[in-house]
Amino acid sequence: MAHIDEDNILHLLGETILPGERKNINFIASTLYTNTELNIPVIVARAKKRGSTVLITAGIHGDEINGVEIIRKFISRKMNQPKKGTIICIPIINIHGFLNMERYFPDGRDLNRSFPGFKRGSLASRFAYQFTHEILPIADVCLDFHSGGAKRFNAAQIRLTKGCEKSLKLAKTFNAPFTLYSKALPKSLRSICVKKEIPYLIFEGGMSGNINKEVAQEGVIGILRVLKNLGMLKQKFAIKNPVTKTIFIKKTRWIRASYSGMFHKKIAVGQYAEKGTHLASITDPYGSFLRKIKSPHDGFIINANLSPIVFEGDALFNITKNLDHAKNETQEDLQGKTYEFKL
């Protein structure tokens, strides 16, 4: 099991990493049909001085590559070299899915519904078991990066489990444009971290199969804020305090299509919409009808469907509800972040 001994030596996946040392370790994900090992790079950077161990992960769903891009940027700029403590980066957890641009493991299972796993279970379950026992025990803080589902674009946001004070402080420090309270799904990595009382944040932004530079930048800056708060960020990467604070969201509502047809979105993700705002239109392909979709109440658009064609009942927009504090703030303060994206 991963641990740091009394001499400040890290023992991880059969390797020893000394204080001040940087090392790339291969985590064996599985063996292919050809008897070839499929390895996941685990990138470890340690300072000489003791401190927290921060685990930064992405790609638990193989087609969510925006999180991979966030960690890539973080590493490529050498921001992962701490002033104290240890930073462990795993840019791609689900290497199988990443190679095939698929969400799931080859056994058809969702890795993020397979924790803590079983030693002799399915392929996804066995991997989850290894991760839970060989990597997770060393973590003092976990930052996990995700994207929206296929053709659904998420504004940059933190998902937070209610009642976890350490994670709440972490979310305030990360300061994404939005922080959304949501339940930890059973058998997810978040649920295991909650049980083990490991402060954990799940970042959602962009959509699967797509890289968005604005969302990626929000992710990188959030990591830097957390490291600064922990005293781990080197001076050359110093960042200013955020101008605005994250907007906490307790409730949201999905706006669904009342008609099938071609979908024409009119509002940017992250934008604040007043009641009655024209959000989108649905038309038929033949020019015989056009139906407007209007906002049912005031709120932020934190998720939007980007499909050009929708069916009756499809989820189109996720809009926040009951933002009481909004009444006392200026419209300029409420605009939040908007994102440009390309399909």
- Determine the residue type at 200: Y
Mean pLDDT of 110-127: 96
48-91 pLDDT, tens digit each:
999 999 999 999 999 999 999 999 999 999 999 999 999 999 99
CATH of the domain at 64: 3.40.630.10
Q: Which of 74-78, 200-204, 233-237, 324-328 has the lowest mean pLDDT?
A: 324-328
Q: φ and ψ at 109, to 5 degrees?
A: -100, 150
pLDDT-derived band at 241, boundaries 50, 70, 90: confident
Token pair in block for residue 298? 């005031």
Domain boundary among 237, 265, 283: 237
The C-alpha atoms of residue 262 and residue 287 are separated, in whole angstroms, by 10
Place of tokens 């015989």: 288
Query: Does residue 220 share a domain with residue 90?
Result: yes
283 and 225 within one domain = no
Find the farthest-apart pair of alpha carbons in the chain and give their distance in angstroms, rounded. Answer: 75
Which of 209, 237, 265 is where one domain is finished?
Answer: 237
Residue 315's pLDDT band, with cuts at 50, 70 and 90, is: very high
- Is 322 among the domain residues? yes
For the ranges 23-37, 180-194, 279-293, the lowest mean pLDDT is seen at 23-37
244 lies in some domain? no
> So what's the pLDDT on residue 33?
85
Kindly state whether residues 181 and 285 are assigned to the same domain: no
pLDDT classification of 343: cutoffs 50, 70, 90: very low
Q: Determine how β-strand 152-160 pairs with β-strand 178-181.
A: parallel
337 pLDDT band (50/70/90 cuts)?
A: low
Residues 74 and 54: beta-carbon distance below 8 Å? no
In this structure, is residue 203 part of a structural domain?
A: yes
| 286: CATH | 2.40.50.100
Report yes or no on 247 lying in a domain.
no
Provide the 10 A C-beta neighbour count for residue 29. Answer: 21
pLDDT tens-digit map of 127-168: 999 999 999 999 999 999 999 987 899 999 999 988 889 999
- Model confidence over 291-313: pLDDT tens digits? 999 999 999 999 999 999 999 99
C-alpha distances in angstroms, 220 versus 78, 199, 269? 12, 18, 20
Confidence of residue 339 (pLDDT cuts 50, 70, 90): low
Together in a domain, 258 and 224: no
- Percent of the chain at pLDDT exceeding 70: 94
Strands (E), 174-228: 178-181, 200-207
Look at residue 207 and tell me if it is in a domain.
Answer: yes
Whether residue 181 is found in the same domain as residue 276: no
- Bridge-based pairing of strands 200-207 and 3-4 is unpaired
Ordered DSSP codes for 24-90 = EEEEEEEE-TTS-EEEEEEEEEE-SS---EEEEEE-SSTT-HHHHHHHHHHHHTTTTS-SSSEEEEE
**Distance, CA of 321 to CA of 150 (rounded, Å):** 24
Residues 9 and 137 in one domain: yes
Q: In terms of residue numbers, what domain contains 145?
A: 3-237
- 27-38 residue pLDDT tens: 988 888 888 888
151 & 297 share domain:
no
User: pTM of the entire structure?
Assistant: 0.93
d(CA 111, CA 124): 5
Candidates 143, 164, 158; CA nearest to 71 is: 143
Q: Examine residue 342 and state whether it is found in any structural domain, yes or no.
A: no
121 and 58 fall within a common domain: yes
Q: In the numeric block, which tokens belong to residue 223?
A: 């990591």
- Over pLDDT 90: what percentage of the chain? 86
Number of domains present in the structure of the chain: 2
Across 107-114, average pLDDT: 96
Note whether 65 and 152 are within 8 A (CB).
no
| Residues 295 and 280: beta-carbon distance below 8 Å | no
| pLDDT attached to residue 49 | 97
Model pLDDT, residue 332 = 45
| 334, pLDDT greater than 50 | no
Residue 338: per-residue pLDDT: 65
Q: Which helix (H) or strand (E) holds 248?
A: strand 247-249
- The tokens for 19 are 């204080």
Estimate to the nearest angstrom the gap between the alpha carbon of 232 and the chain centroid.
21
Residue 155 shares a structural domain with residue 94: yes
- For residues 83 and 183, membership in a common domain is answered with yes
Tokens of 167: 């994670």
Q: Which of 205, 237, 269 is the last residue of a domain?
A: 237
Q: What is the pLDDT of residue 324?
A: 52
Task: Note whether 44 and 70 are same-domain residues.
Answer: yes
What are the residues whose beta carbons fall under 8 Å from the beta carbon of 218, sequence distance 6 or more? 156, 176, 177, 205, 337
C-alpha to C-alpha distance for 220 and 79, rounded to whole angstroms? 9
Burial class (CB in 10 A: 0-12, 13-18, 19+), 21: middle
Considering the domain boundaries, does residue 95 fall inside one?
A: yes
Q: CB within 8 A of 164, min separation 6: which ones?
A: 194, 199, 200
Q: Does residue 248 sit within a domain?
A: no
Q: For residues 180 and 276, state if they share a domain.
A: no
Report the alpha-carbon distance of residue 118 to residue 111 in Å, rounded. 12
Three-state DSSP state, 279: strand
